[in-house]
Amino acid sequence: MTGSDIRTLALASLGGALEFYDFVVFVFFAATLGHLFFPPGLPDWLRQAQTFGLFAAGYLARPLGGIIMAHYGDKSGRKRVFTLSVLLMAIPTLLIGLLPTYATIRALAPLLLLAMRIMQGAAIGGEAPGGWVFVAEHAPPGRSGLAIGLLTAGLTGGILLGSLVATLLNLVLSQERIAAGFWRLPFLLGGAFGFGAMVLRRWLSETPVFLRLRAEREAASLPSAIVLRRHLPAVLASMASTWMLTAAIVVVILLAPTLLEKQFAIAPARAQAANLLATITLTIGAVLVGLATDRFGFRRTASASIALLAVSAVLLFVGAGHDPALVVPLYALAGLGAGVVTITPVLMVRAFPPEVAFTGLSLSYNVAYAAFGGLTPLLVAFLAHENRLASGFYVAIVAAVGLVAALTAPVAKPRPAPDGMAEPGA
């Protein structure tokens, strides 16, 4: 890769990490926000349900925001929308840090918080699909997997950054001081991160692929209609693969600590430490999977990495029931297996032609993530109540669906590479 390639990937990945930090930091302070933005007389379970409902609203807003931004990304350019998504995330994150609480403005407080969360969801809907298309179209021949893997690692790095900030704040300050006002700090910091990322992305250049499309006037007039009419098999395969991605992220990374604590009596400190390690190995795994697709081919890499996800997820819960000491190394292995998330954007970039790539990715990914990401916690909670190993088997079953999608997904005409040569689609 040239110095320009490396700079583009670094700036795109850093911006993705900062934007995903803005989106996920909400969940790390959900309990505090619930106490501050809802009436004090509510039962704890209802307050918690309402707070997580606000968190879920961000997921439900993703498809609409993502499809609208993708439309303009395919019509007007990748860079413009890629930069706009950061600004749209930075503003509501900053405003959350400035919002008055229920004690000050009563019922208006949760409504304003809901509005900010919807704005965040709309912004994040354009970030990941736009980023994957952007770096894939900038990558030199034979390096699109690495480019996508690095950006995906940046997105997961945002989750890690949010976890680290929350952990540090809880170590340094008491819960009383956090509730008294220090809860605002991570959101104010996130707003600053977002504006910084927007400035960084102004240094990026438009992708060579889109510049060729614009020069040849090949931009689609109505990308979403073309995607649904001509590329439905690609949409279905992409949605199935996204289901696998949600299982890896939502179950293995986000829900597993709570499941391990409640079902296997794992100490919270051990579960959180293991989760932190798993998030690190997830970030590493995302890059390794991208590298492997370039080196060994997509289908071989997909088969091996999906098998690792399925086996490691089952081992995590079986091992936790056998010996709590095994949780940390097995969780690290499961995090590495979750690096399979890179397979999903690689599959989607291969499946859609350049003129509708942004829309194809955004529509498939965001609709599937809103559906499966929202239903997975409820389904896993029900299954875990019936069998404490069910969470691991759920991930394994969904991984099998992802494998079928990876092996049967269509491959669009190879995109033109930055040097004018066609990049292999195999």
List the chain pLDDT tens, one digit each, 426 residues.
677 777 788 878 877 888 788 878 887 787 788 889 988 877 876 776 677 677 777 777 888 888 888 888 887 788 888 778 888 888 999 999 999 999 999 989 999 999 998 888 888 888 888 889 989 988 888 889 999 999 999 888 888 888 888 888 888 888 899 999 999 999 999 998 888 888 877 778 888 888 887 777 655 567 888 898 899 999 999 999 999 999 999 899 888 887 888 888 888 878 888 988 999 999 999 999 999 999 999 999 999 999 999 999 999 999 998 888 899 999 999 999 999 999 999 999 999 998 889 899 999 999 998 888 778 877 887 888 788 899 999 999 999 999 999 999 999 875 554 444 444 333
Q: How far apart are CA 70 and CA 76, in angstroms?
A: 10
For residue 392, the model assigns a pLDDT of 94
Residue 217 three-state SS: coil
Q: How far is CA 310 from CA 18, 319, 340, 406, 414, in A?
A: 30, 14, 10, 15, 31
Cα–Cα–Cα angle for 403, 260, 38, nearest 5°? Answer: 100
Phi, psi of 54 (to 5 degrees): -65, -40
For residue 422, the model assigns a pLDDT of 44
CA-wise closest residue to 128 among 88, 70, 53, 208: 70
For residue 324, the model assigns a pLDDT of 87
Domain spans in the chain, listed from the N-terminal domain onward: 1-206, 223-411
CATH architecture of 1-206: Up-down Bundle (1.20)
For residue 219, the model assigns a pLDDT of 55
Q: How far apart are CA 24 and CA 158, in angstroms?
A: 8
Domain 223-411 maps to which CATH number in 3.40.50.1820, 2.60.40.1760, 2.60.40.10, 1.20.1250.20?
A: 1.20.1250.20
Residue 424 three-state SS: coil
Domain 1-206 matches domain 223-411 at the CATH topology level: yes
User: Which residues face 422 on adjacent strands?
Assistant: 416
29 neighbors 189 (Cβ within 8 angstroms): no
For residue 52, the model assigns a pLDDT of 66
For residue 6, the model assigns a pLDDT of 78
50 neighbors 109 (Cβ within 8 angstroms): no
- Residue at 29: amino acid letter: F
Q: How far is CA 163 from CA 18, 25, 118, in A?
A: 13, 8, 22
Q: What predicted TM-score, i.e. pTM, was given to this entire model?
A: 0.84
Query: What would the two tokens of residue 421 be?
Result: 């040569």
For residue 98, the model assigns a pLDDT of 96
